[in-house]
Amino acid sequence: MAVVAKTGNEAMAEAMRQINPDVVAAYPITPATEIVMIFAQFVADGLVDTNYIPVESEHSAMSACVGAATTGARVMTGTSSQGLALMYEILPIASGLRLPIIMCDVNRAISAPINIHCDHSDTMAARDFGWIQIFSENAQEAYDNLLQAVRIAEDPRVLLPTMVTTDGFIISHGMERMEMLEDAQVKEYVGEKKPAYSILDLENPKTIGALDFTDYYFEHKMPLVQAMKDSKQVILEVGRDFGNKFGREYGFFEKYKMDDAELVMVALGSTCGTAKVAIDELREQGIKAGLLKIRVFRPFAAEEIAKELAGKKAVAVMDRSDSYNTQGGPVFTEVRSALYGTSNAPKMINYIYGLGGRDINVPQLKSVFTDLSKIDKMPEINYLGVRE
Amino acid sequence: MATLKELSTRKDPLCGGHRACSGCGFPQIVRMICMASKDPVVVVSATGCLEVVTTIFPYSAWTVPFVHNAFENAAATMSGIEAAYRALSKKGKVSKKINFITFGGDGGTYDIGLQSLSGAMERGHDMLYVCYNNQAYMNTGVQRSGATPIGANTTTEPVGKIKQGKMEKRKDLTEIMVAHNLPYVAQATVGYWSDLTRKAEKAFAVTGPKFINVLQPCRLGWIYKPEDTMVIARLAAETCFWPLYEVENGKYKGTFKPKDKKPVVDFLKSQDRFRHLFKPQNAAMLEDIQKEIDVNWEKLLSKEGK
């Protein structure tokens, strides 16, 4: 193990080098370009065995990943924002064909207006395509999550493509202290991929991507439903095992000062680091504030999250994107839905914040807790940090 | 070139019972291309007639490994397979030589898949891309494509009171592929098995990106009797509406030169998609079509002379 200073992009590229996938197909897009650039240098220097395909678009990146994955190869890519949006058509093909492709996804706003900075609109729009989605608070988590993603995605109980996200610029370009495993440790941890079949198996020719009409399509979607359910157990197992092996354990979410918390913030990604500082300061004033940091957004750990929030006085759900449904952001609608019909459900409001990389700071997050102390007077959906 | 007898012993990539229309041209294209390969093949197809009629679950007509991903990304999909093959070969996980063949209709190749094709060819993946070109979106019901010739009646550029079908010239995709500096590019029709087989053999003999544009009459969209497919495919070459040629490392060679070039109306009148062109008021259009074909044929011959 080595203690190093890395940006989120460097951390992800290093994890990719250590995973040493068979194929990487990727296309440049800010702020994820660096991941591909750094990895391309590893290829150029012979540090990986990977066959790297510098495709002509993200659509082709995901298409090539799908093709490569049908051979049983271990396949990775990286993208962001418009690039992820260009992949949307192929994302459900990857999950529908049960191809455990791994993606580094740097969260960035979606055009228009064009904007290169962080929000979660790109990733949230991809939430219903059958991909596992894991959010990272910092470079360390990005690194750890990417390594675990291989084990989760390729588990025979799962076989789902998986994206690990960081927040654009905030994590992708922010340099932090982190611990890196030794190459040999990662090699052993991820192991050899053991595919159930390969399109290159000439003795047992397969037809992949066949046409289903009304008589089979539904049945073929049900295993995907089941795999997403089953992935919950695998995510927990892998997170615990990672903790046992390397000292950092992971689950569906992280609880920060939650045990006795009365006022709770639910958030994802880099904002959680800022929220922890706000909570520490509030605790000094005797305010019982806490944070539930959601790490795994797909599958959504509804029951487990509902259990953590039961009995709390007030909850603020932070969304770094809007779903434009007039009912709040995607995290809010998920959390509220998780609590529907449960006993002891807390009062809950939503904050949409940080769109297009608008800064979110400690005073703002503290003001959210102030709002929570008078939740009855608050509107259900609030926009934080926007000029009127 | 392999003899017919020899070809008949090769593995047929399609079994009987697929659901292509009677008289459809592409099953023959698929068979001729795949059976020209001495080595095993792995096939990718774009969304389109070929994919639809061969893979309706729970059946598959494919006896060889087959992948369908989406409409516009067949070449990119094969890029991934071919790249993975090379990675896995290096690790000793696969050993046999494989020919990678990508099929796309003209919609999936000329139009929506052009970027994906261009990228894959430029990157130099070792694959043969075959466009089965029936000059319109036949799977969705005869919509115009970039390959549709001027004057053809389609459902998205129909003949009407003031329009005579498609008013724009078709794109010359074969030349676009030549401009990619590929080691082998060819134009063929389903009507000449030996020409097509020989071209496929030549393509397979070269490592790298190869492209063959195969004209395939479609009885549904071109509107003719199913038994006429081969006759019409040959008329296309005999009239030079679809010249047969190949470009090896930039060097042009005509592979079929009609002694007496038939007038293009012989080809046009064989199909009802051009029926309206034979109204007296459209005589000028017919003349223009003939002129353009003559010009293009001369251009091709002059390229060969270089």
**Domains with residue ranges and CATH for chain B:** 4-305 (3.40.50.970)
- What would the pLDDT profile of B5-63 be if each residue is shown by its tens digit? 999 999 999 999 999 999 999 999 999 999 999 999 999 999 999 999 999 999 999 99
At residue A138, does pLDDT exceed 90? yes
Residue B67: its chain A contacts at CB < 8 A?
67, 70, 199, 208-209
Nearest to A36 by CA among A238, A180, A208, A172: A172
Total H helices, total E strands in chain A: 13, 16
State the smallest CA–CA distance between residue A94 and chain B in angstroms: 9
Looking at the partner chain, which of B80, B91, B115 has a beta carbon nearest the beta carbon of A56?
B115
Return the residue matching tokens 């891309």. B129
Q: Are A205 and B65 within 8 A, CB to CB?
A: yes
Residue A57: its chain B contacts at CB < 8 A?
115-116, 119
Q: Are B57 and A200 within 8 A, CB to CB?
A: no
- pLDDT > 70: what percent of chain A? 100
- What would the pLDDT profile of A289-305 be if each residue is shown by its tens digit? 999 999 999 999 999 99
| pLDDT at residue A7 in the model | 98
At residue B136, does pLDDT exceed 90? yes
For chain A, the domains span 2-246, 253-384
Return the residue matching tokens 């993946």. B125
A-side interface with B, Cβ within 8 Å? 22-23, 25, 49-51, 53-57, 59-61, 63-73, 75, 89-90, 93, 198-202, 205-213, 216, 220
Looking at the partner chain, which of B67, B96, B115 has a beta carbon nearest the beta carbon of A202?
B96
At residue A145, does pLDDT exceed 90? yes
State the smallest CA–CA distance between residue B53 and chain A in angstroms: 9
Return the residue matching tokens 């001369």. B298
SS (H, E, C) B135-186: CCECCCCCECCCCCCCCCCCCCCCECCCCECCCCCCCCHHHHHHCCCCCEEE
Phi and psi (nearest 5°) for B125?
Answer: -60, 145
**Please, which pLDDT band fits residue A240 given cuts at 50, 70 and 90?**
very high
How many angstroms separate the CA atoms of A221 and A344, rounded?
Answer: 35
User: For A122-128, what is the mean pLDDT?
Assistant: 98
**Closest residue of chain A to B98, computed from CA coordinates:** A200
Q: Taking CA A286 as the corner, what is the angle to CA A281 and CA A290, rounded to the nearest 5 degrees?
A: 65
User: For B146-155, what is the mean pLDDT?
Assistant: 98
Residue A46: its chain B contacts at CB < 8 A?
none
Nearest to A15 by CA among A129, A114, A134: A134
User: For A71-95, what is the mean pLDDT?
Assistant: 98
Q: What is the pTM of this model?
A: 0.98
Looking at the partner chain, which of A199, A207, A213 has a beta carbon nearest the beta carbon of B81?
A199
Nearest to B77 by CA among B123, B106, B107, B45: B45
How many angstroms separate the CA atoms of A242 and A147, rounded?
Answer: 9
DSSP string for A27-57? ---TTTHHHHHHHHHHHHTT----EEEE-SS
How many angstroms separate the CA atoms of B222 and A318, rounded?
Answer: 58
Phi and psi (nearest 5°) for A230?
Answer: -65, -25
Return the residue matching tokens 């090539």. A64
How many angstroms separate the CA atoms of A170 and A138, rounded?
Answer: 9
How many angstroms separate the CA atoms of B163 and B173, rounded?
Answer: 25
At residue B306, does pLDDT exceed 80? no
**Closest residue of chain B to A63, computed from CA coordinates:** B77
State the smallest CA–CA distance between residue B57 and chain A in angstroms: 5
ipTM (interface pTM): 0.97
At residue B127, does pLDDT exceed 80? yes
For chain B, positions 81-110, list CB contacts with chain A under 8 A.
Answer: 81, 83-88, 90-91, 94, 96, 98
The DSSP symbol for B222 reads I
How many angstroms separate the CA atoms of A236 and A188, rounded?
Answer: 20
Nearest to A363 by CA among A385, A336, A340: A385
Helix axes B114-123, B74-90, angle to 10 degrees: 30
The DSSP symbol for A383 reads E
Is B132 in contact with B103 (CB distance < 8 Å)? yes
How many angstroms separate the CA atoms of A359 and A370, rounded?
Answer: 19
Residue B86: its chain A contacts at CB < 8 A?
51
State the smallest CA–CA distance between residue B292 and chain A in angstroms: 34
B165-192 burial: b if 16+ Cβ within 10 Å, else e:
bbeeebbbbbebbbeeebbbbbbbbbbb
Average of per-residue pLDDT values in chain B: 97
Select the more confidently predicted residue: A259 or A1.
A259
Residue A64: its chain B contacts at CB < 8 A?
76-77, 79-80, 83
**Please, which pLDDT band fits residue A369 given cuts at 50, 70 and 90?**
very high
Residue A70: its chain B contacts at CB < 8 A?
67, 80-81
Q: Which residues pair with A179 in a beta bridge?
A: A3
Distances, alpha carbon B79 to alpha carbons A24, A255, A282, B207, B267, in Å: 11, 44, 55, 14, 37
User: Domain spanning A2-246 has what CATH number?
Assistant: 3.40.50.970
Distances, alpha carbon A384 to alpha carbons A228, A358, A360, in Å: 33, 10, 9
**Please, which pLDDT band fits residue B305 given cuts at 50, 70 and 90?**
confident
How many angstroms separate the CA atoms of A33 and A141, rounded?
Answer: 19
User: For A33-49, what is the mean pLDDT?
Assistant: 98
Phi and psi (nearest 5°) for A237?
Answer: -60, -45
Average of per-residue pLDDT values in chain A: 98
Per 3-state DSSP, chain A is made up of helix, strand and coil in percentages (nearest 5) of: 40, 20, 40
The DSSP symbol for B221 reads I
The DSSP symbol for B109 reads I
Q: Are A73 and B65 within 8 A, CB to CB?
A: no
Q: Are B87 and A53 within 8 A, CB to CB?
A: no
Burial bucket for residue B4 (CB in 10 Å: 0-12, 13-18, 19+): exposed
Among 3.40.30.10, 1.25.40.320, 3.30.300.30, 3.40.50.920, name the CATH number for the domain at A253-384.
3.40.50.920
Q: Are A208 and B66 within 8 A, CB to CB?
A: yes
